[in-house]
Amino acid sequence: MTATIGDELLGLLSQLVIACASFGCLYLLVASVAVLRFSRNEARRVDRSRPITVLKPLHGPEPGLSERLASLCRQQYDGPVQIICGVRDRGDRAVDTVEQLIAGGAPIELTVDGREHGENRKVSNLINMVSHARHDIVVIADSDIEVGPDYLASLAAELQAPGVGAVTCLYHGVPTAGIWSRCAALSINAHFLPNAVVAIELGLAQPCFGATIAMRRGTLAAIGGFQGVADDLADDHVMGKALQRMGSKVLVAPFSVGHVCWHDSLRSLAAHELRAARTIKTLDPVGYFGTIVSHPFPLALIAALCGAEHGVQLAAVALACRLTVSACVAYAFKLPWQAYRLAPVQDVIAFAVFVASFFGRDISWRGYKGRVQPDGRLASDERQATP
């Protein structure tokens, strides 16, 4: 009797997993179409005259940082551009990179200010930097973001659209060296980017991505400035929601910027993806759980292990669908061909991170160790240990 009940439960589980995997394959095909549709959106007329301040918060040495900063100095833009790089500590190794560029004539300003205004160290850095901004349009760009020569011109043009309070950008993965860097880039291009495009195209979300946020200083002040998100892990998300509450639109530009991935170990990759997963889960737990269907390949493998008929064949179909959406992303955003042979490995890692994200709230972020609270705010290990 017990064995029979166990067999029935296993059969029901395999059928449920097969259904989820099958729906997931369909979802990936829908995502492929959505990505191609999104790429047909036209950019607005380029504006190259409005004064812009770029805030680039830095922390530690990063591969290719010098070239990424130099690309901001080579923008095809006629208006005044102020580039501010900020660090919290004079001993930060990023300082050497910035000072070498300044010595070579690069129009970059460096701020060193260790004042902390909350648990989010990046936001504290931004608060310290923004007081030095001279221009009305402020662009916040993460240190690991690489951009093209029309980056600032395109952002300034999009910001002129009626009702737009901020402009943000999707981002694609750019690998450096090693298998884990390539897996990280593939995770962005084959998972994050198409999922984000589906949400945008179907009107399910109006996201605001920290990779790039451009807004006017008056708008920033109206939502409480950076001080209002000093304790939030998803500071970009919270800023986007604040803009929407005041009736302003967050416009997603019709192009992507590069997110450089330099993970040199599985542990580093897993920690990065787990932080992102737990952030999203905290913001929208129901919607996040629903993204289980975006993992059809590992689901099909589980079904095969449960003895489901055609489980292996479904896994092959799921992998083909993953490669299809990856190819559509590469075509739509004009990306170089990547190590798609790693897709099965990355799919399994992504699903493992998805499952692990439901167990605990601990995160690790560039030397910061803490916990995401139910309201999305951060609490460091040091603060939690304080009696």
Amino acid at 240: G
The model's confidence at residue 283, banded by pLDDT at 50, 70 and 90, is confident
**CA 56, 333, 180, 355 torsion-angle sign:** positive
pLDDT band at 386 (very low <50, low <70, confident <90, very high): very low
Sign of CA dihedral 235, 279, 144, 383: positive
| Chain segment 85-96, per-residue pLDDT in tens | 999 999 899 999
State the Rg of the chain over Cα.
22
> What is the rounded distance in angstroms from the CA atom of residue 139 to the CA atom of residue 141?
6
Q: In the structure, what pLDDT confidence band is assigned to residue 368 with cuts at 50, 70 and 90?
A: low
- Calpha distance 295→343 (Å, rounded): 12
Percentages helix, strand, coil for the chain (3-state, rounded to 5) are 50, 20, 30
How far apart are alpha carbons 354 and 311 in whole angstroms? 21
Pair 142, 174: CB distance under 8 Å: no
Beta pairing, strands 164-175 & 362-365: unpaired
Residues 6 or more apart whose Cβ sits within 8 Å of residue 64: 146, 176, 260
Residue 313, both tokens: 């064949």
User: Pairing between strand 368-372 and 378-380?
Assistant: antiparallel
Could you count the other beta carbons within 10 Å of the beta carbon of residue 262?
Answer: 17
What average pLDDT does the segment 92-106 reach? Answer: 93
The predicted pLDDT at position 384 comes to 42
pTM tops 0.85? yes
At 170-179, the pLDDT tens digits run 999 999 888 9
Indicate whether 22 pLDDT > 80: yes
DSSP class of residue 340 equals G
Strand partners for 140: 55, 213
Cα separation, 349 vs 365, whole angstroms: 19
What domains are there in the chain, each with its CATH number?
Answer: 9-39+279-368 (no CATH), 52-276 (3.90.550.10)
Residue showing tokens 């002129």: 160
Q: What is the mean pLDDT of residues 286-294?
A: 89
Compute how many other C-beta atoms are within 10 angstroms of the C-beta atom of residue 309. Answer: 11
Tell me the C-alpha distance between 44 and 53, whole Å: 21
pLDDT higher for 108 or 161?
Answer: 108
| pLDDT of 12 | 77
- Mean pLDDT of all residues in the chain? 89
How far from 304 is each of 156, 190, 301, 328, 355, CA to CA, in Å? 51, 23, 5, 28, 19
What pLDDT, on a 0 to 100 scale, did the predictor assign at position 381? 60
Between 17-21, 46-50, 97-101, the lowest mean confidence (pLDDT) is in 46-50
Question: Does residue 385 register a pLDDT over 50?
Answer: no
